[in-house]
Structure 1
């Protein structure tokens, strides 16, 4: 399959393989890099394929809705759906509003994402992987 004829699908498949196989010293850096790409491409090139599943629905993927600290825009976290979550996370990354936690000299356990509308999420690395796997599995089935 040519990379040029089916870029999005191959990019997603290869990114999924990287997050599932990379075990090196820079695992969280690799994870964040893959996550950035996987937030941007679906959000920009195929937003209608991102399902409007509730956060409760995607708990089956291993993503806890408790990661959403503030839904922003006068919403409660339970009102955000997957499509909006992807958009909010994409905006956080696009505006460099991402910080590792615990943000001291210990290893990175996950990342905090914030956007300009008050959205805030604190997502452990294992749940970032689960969110990516679930979203990619859905998109690759389309």
Structure 2
């Protein structure tokens, strides 16, 4: 297997394929691996620079219900800020990069993952929302990177 000369674009395209086509017993693990690849592998400046600062309510357009975000947390300086899509991606990146994630189980199956960061961010995102977010993010980055 060989990557295209533009590794980042090729990586995001393959991640989109994995996230949307895989159906099997390891789907929850695959989603976390996809998030790790999409949120951490690209340079943080590249990732955050490409994500729009749209209103918090618009995260539903990216697959995550605003009700899945329990606490948006505070800025490093301790000031409240207006939650937006770019901040959500940054918070998820921090949670994934520092492995502040935990599976949420129901009836012996993983149904969601919780994400936390050191600034008080806390989200519980169901697998279906996470799958939609990973697909949308990989497609968006592929088209805009």
TM-score tier by shorter-chain length is 0.7 to 0.9
**Number of the residue aligned with 2:20:** 20
For residues 14-65 of structure 1, the C-alpha deviation after alignment (integer angstroms, 9 at most, x for no partner) is: 0110011111211111111111111113462512111112231231333211
**Number of the residue aligned with 1:122:** 124
Q: How many angstroms apart in 2 are the aligned matches of 1:72 and 1:112?
A: 14
Structure 2 alignment gaps of length 5 or more: none
Aligned residues of 2:113 and 2:125 also touching (Cα < 8 A): yes
Q: How many angstroms apart in 2 are the aligned matches of 1:124 and 1:40?
A: 21
Q: Specify which structure has the bigger relative contact order, considering alpha-carbon pairs within 8 angstroms and separated by 6 or more residues.
A: 2
The answer as to 2:37 corresponding to 1:41 is no
Q: How many angstroms apart in 1 are the aligned matches of 2:114 and 2:134?
A: 16
**Number of the residue aligned with 2:85:** 82
**Number of the residue aligned with 2:94:** 91
Equivalent residue pairs, number = 138
Question: RMSD value over aligned CA atoms?
Answer: 2.0
For residues 73-98 of structure 1, the C-alpha deviation after alignment (integer angstroms, 9 at most, x for no partner) is: 1547xx32111111111111222210
TM-score scaled by length of structure 1 = 0.86
**Runs of 4 or more consecutive aligned structure 1 residues displaced over 6 Å after TM superposition:** none
Structure 1 alignment gaps of length 5 or more: none
| Shift in alpha-carbon separation, 1:4–1:141, aligned structure 2, 3 A | closer
The answer as to 2:63 corresponding to 1:62 is yes
SS at match of 1:134: helix
Q: How many angstroms apart in 2 are the aligned matches of 1:4 and 1:44?
A: 22
